[in-house]
């Protein structure tokens, strides 16, 4: 889960905070895990939700760059593509961002994504198509 949070957020400290919040939330409200999937699946999904919520709460892309400058102490550099992805995830609907992470970052199949999201395989295909359309529109706009 920490690896997922690091990949989405690009910041070790913030990633650790999100993972800690997921576990604290589960301890405070254990009924939120209803057993409809494995605990691991639920934890990955909750971590993804937490990361996306964290990105949405940030005000601007400039603020994101200010909070996470490249680390000269040997940490991974903040790549331009990572910043673009974070900005995209913060602006697109939550469900599209989830599908994008599962499909492109985790390389999950449509069936696997459908299981995690609790939807049909066809819906996953529709989500990914909506994502492509959204990205194409963003690239075409000035």
Q: What is the pLDDT along the chain (142 residues), one digit of tens a residue?
A: 999 899 888 889 999 999 999 999 999 898 988 888 889 889 988 999 898 888 877 544 444 455 555 444 444 444 566 777 777 777 888 888 888 888 887 888 898 899 888 999 999 999 999 988 888 887 776 6
Domain containing 63 equals 1-78
The answer on 36 and 9 residing in a single domain is: yes
Number of domains forming the structure of the chain: 2
The Cα 60–Cα 136 span in angstroms is 22
Last residue of a domain, one of 78, 100, 126: 78
Q: Is residue 116 part of a domain?
A: yes
Q: What number of other Cβ atoms are within 10 A of residue 50's Cβ? A: 23
Q: Is residue 53 part of a domain?
A: yes
Q: CA–CA distance from 10 to each of 13, 48, 64, 85 (Å)?
A: 9, 13, 10, 10
The Cα 34–Cα 106 span in angstroms is 24
Taking the complete model, does pTM exceed 0.75, yes or no? no
pLDDT at site 142: 60
Q: Is residue 114 part of a domain?
A: yes
The answer on 51 and 4 residing in a single domain is: yes
pLDDT at site 58: 59
Q: Is residue 55 part of a domain?
A: yes
Q: Is residue 84 part of a domain?
A: no
The answer on 66 and 111 residing in a single domain is: no
The answer on 49 and 113 residing in a single domain is: no
């Amino acid at each position: 889960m920490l690896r997922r949070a690091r990949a989405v957020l690009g910041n070790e400290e913030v990633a650790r905070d999100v993972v800690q919040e997921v576990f604290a939330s589960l301890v405070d409200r254990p009924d939120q895990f209803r057993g409809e999937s494995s605990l691991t699946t639920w934890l990955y999904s909750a971590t993804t939700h937490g990361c996306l919520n964290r990105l949405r709460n940030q005000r601007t892309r400039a603020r994101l760059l200010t909070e996470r400058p490249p680390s000269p102490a040997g940490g991974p550099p903040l790549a331009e593509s990572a910043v673009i992805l974070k900005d995209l995830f913060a602006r697109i609907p939550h469900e599209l961002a989830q599908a994008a992470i599962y499909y492109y970052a985790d390389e999950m199949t449509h069936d696997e994504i459908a299981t995690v999201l609790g939807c049909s395989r066809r819906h996953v295909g529709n989500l990914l198509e909506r994502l492509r359309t959204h990205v194409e529109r963003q690239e075409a706009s000035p």
